[in-house]
Chains A and B, each alone.
Chain A
Amino acid sequence: MSKLAIETIGLRKKFGNQVVLDGIDMQVPAGTIYALLGPNGAGKTTLIHILSTLYDQDDGIVKIAGYDLATDKDMVRQSISLTGQFAAVDEVLTGEENLRMLCRLSGLTAAESRSRTEELLRHFDLAAAAKKRVKTYSGGMRRRLDIAISLVVKRPILFLDEPTTGLDTISRRSLWQIILQLKEQGITVFLTTQYLEEADQLADIITVIDSGRVVATGTAKSLKSSIGGEVIEIRNEKDEIVRTAATSGTLLDMNQALNELTQSLSPTMRVSIRKPSMDDVFIALTSQEMERAPS
């Protein structure tokens, strides 16, 4: 039996009358990268805030690294670190001072703090900017510093709330490398993201939530195959996609779909077939949920 880094059973949270989390059950095996996907307002950030001890849950059981969140908050805090959605770095201080401050707060001695800071600055490619104030840093540098701060001492579980939001492609890819390296070191990474590609590339397990409920959990591959075999795309003369149709991938099903498309579209349009993407999964899962909700 593999150990669970995070487990929630029937987790609920309300803000006033608004139900934000409506019975979340999750099991995050230790040492995995676990991605939480969902549209804006689905409850991703609230969930990560509860798991990282910032808010109390209203109901349900949460265990982090084996400790019960309700009774052992202090032990939970020794097991986790959080990189929030807004870079929680001190803009007035330099990168080096930020790291050293957090080293000291994490219980390292002054000498240990110095060497650890140097090591992290080098590893996260911030050595050249070490003595500059964070105010002058780019978005990517801030994020790297933010994550470096979370790794001042090695905690078994790292929470990343939308780690790459607002970053350019190069910064995003370099951050992905860092996250994969963390996994190699045995750290459990629990991240939320709006980018389906990110979940697809990084995560061992993906959970999709919508309106405070889990709508699907699985590997990227299993989620994709759960919504069907092949997707038909129809393009016009300008190579723009004008219609897509998900099919089970059987000859019969595809034939039928193509027949229907031929009736409503110009017969000169071009057809291509591809495997479902995470986008298809996301749209299928979250819109299903919307249809089910009373209007």
Chain B
Amino acid sequence: MMNASTSIKRASFATTNAVFIGRSIRHSLRNVEALIMAIMLPVMLMLLFTYVFGGSIDPTGNYVNYVVPGIILLCAGFGSSSTAVDVSMDMTNGIVDRFRTMPIQSMSVVTGHVVASLARNLFATGVVVGVALLVGFKPSASLLEWLAAIGIIALFILSFTWLFAAIGLMAGSPSSASAYGFILLFLPYLSSAFVPTDNMPSWLQGIANHQPITPVIETIRGLLTGTPILNSGWFAIGWCLFIVLISLIWCNWAFQRKTARR
């Protein structure tokens, strides 16, 4: 009745990751509130910035072309922040203990959440672009520029998701994970996402021009609508890779620490 296989087998690294990615994607699809939010937020923000704020910020009606990259990043930041909660939940409810007593690379449980976040947020990006096109967005990008823009967006989502994953690992509970993550969501407002930084007070310009969101925004905007990119592209890639690297180190450290104590 219970003829379990006794031969010692091991799940490969690829299988382990595939299993955890599948798990996290199922989680994403079954979290109905989060899914509705992931679709509604881009739609509402797009409409809000185009019809409510847009006229005052740029009376020529051209604001939609300016604001699309900002809304993409705002949504991506918001969407990836739920990774902190997902990771924290796994760390506190005992399931990670089971994975850790198995002969597998248990950090992959975090990788699963990161990949699911990437998929979720690329989808949200698609929604933003779709709504933007409906309300008058006129991108000038070639296919290659579109691909490059998607690449930069994906890199940005990955970097922020890893960062949120690290926050989730550090936090003592899912609700504190959510609170810490919240701070990061203000970064897009202090950048060139919604208004050019030129009109900000000079001290704020210093912050806005030297934080990671601004070069990412400028790069996406340049690729999609043909504004000058200058060296923003390299800064964008550099910032994102830097954040990924730091977050990975932080995640590994936090994962070991979390699991060594208690």
| A81 interface residue (CB < 8 Å to B) | yes
Give the residues in chain A near B19, CB-CB below 8 Å. Answer: 101, 104-105
Could you tell me the distance between the alpha carbons of A152 and B2 in the complex, rounded to whole angstroms? Answer: 10
Taken residue by residue from 61 to 103, chain A's Cβ proximity to chain B (1 for < 8 Å, 0 otherwise) reads as: 0000000000000100110111011111110110001000110
- Whether the pair A106, B9 counts as a contact (CB closer than 8 A) is yes
- Whether the pair B94, A185 counts as a contact (CB closer than 8 A) is no
CB-nearest residue of chain A to B30:
A92
Taken residue by residue from 35 to 59, chain A's Cβ proximity to chain B (1 for < 8 Å, 0 otherwise) reads as: 0000000000000010011111000
Could you tell me the distance between the alpha carbons of A49 and B27 in the complex, rounded to whole angstroms? Answer: 28
Contact residues of B: prevailing secondary structure: loop
Taken residue by residue from 234 to 275, chain A's Cβ proximity to chain B (1 for < 8 Å, 0 otherwise) reads as: 000000000000000000000000000000000000000000
Smallest beta-carbon distance B4→chain A, Å: 4
Give the residues in chain A near B227, CB-CB below 8 Å. Answer: none
Taken residue by residue from 202 to 240, chain B's Cβ proximity to chain A (1 for < 8 Å, 0 otherwise) reads as: 000000000000000000000000000000000000000
Partner of A153, one of B9, B15, B259: B9
Partner of B27, one of A86, A87, A92, A106: A92
Give the residues in chain A near B26, CB-CB below 8 Å. Answer: 92-93, 97
CB-nearest residue of chain B to A113:
B19
- Whether the pair B2, A86 counts as a contact (CB closer than 8 A) is no
- Whether the pair B5, A153 counts as a contact (CB closer than 8 A) is yes
Give the residues in chain B near A153, CB-CB below 8 Å. Answer: 4-6, 9
Asked, given contacts A86-B93, A87-B94, A93-B26, whether A105 binds B102 with beta carbons under 8 Å apart, the answer is: yes
- Whether the pair A105, B94 counts as a contact (CB closer than 8 A) is no
Contact residues of A: prevailing secondary structure: loop
| A131 interface residue (CB < 8 Å to B) | no
Count: A-B pairs, CB below 8 Å: 92
- Whether the pair B6, A154 counts as a contact (CB closer than 8 A) is yes
Give the residues in chain A near B2, CB-CB below 8 Å. Answer: 119, 123, 151, 154, 181, 185
Smallest beta-carbon distance B261→chain A, Å: 8
Asked, given contacts A88-B97, A97-B26, whether A106 binds B102 with beta carbons under 8 Å apart, the answer is: yes
Partner of A88, one of B11, B95, B260, B262: B95
Partner of A53, one of B4, B27, B101: B101
B residues 1-18 with Cβ under 8 Å of A? 1-2, 4-6, 8-11, 15-16
Smallest beta-carbon distance B177→chain A, Å: 17
| A132 interface residue (CB < 8 Å to B) | no
Give the residues in chain A near B123, CB-CB below 8 Å. Answer: none
Give chain B's interface residues, CB within 8 Å of chain A: 1-2, 4-6, 8-11, 15-16, 19, 22-23, 26-27, 30-31, 93-95, 97-104, 259-262
What are 29 A-B pairs at a CB distance below 8 A? Answer: A53-B100, A54-B101, A55-B260, A74-B103, A77-B103, A81-B101, A81-B102, A82-B101, A84-B94, A86-B94, A88-B93, A90-B23, A97-B26, A101-B22, A104-B15, A104-B19, A105-B19, A105-B102, A106-B9, A106-B11, A107-B11, A116-B4, A123-B1, A149-B98, A151-B2, A152-B4, A153-B4, A153-B5, A153-B9
Other than the given A104-B11, A116-B5, A153-B5, 13 more pairs (CB < 8 A) read A53-B100, A74-B103, A77-B102, A104-B15, A105-B11, A105-B19, A105-B99, A106-B11, A108-B9, A112-B5, A123-B1, A154-B6, A185-B2
Closest 7 CB pairs of A and B: A107-B9, A154-B4, A88-B98, A86-B94, A88-B94, A77-B103, A82-B101
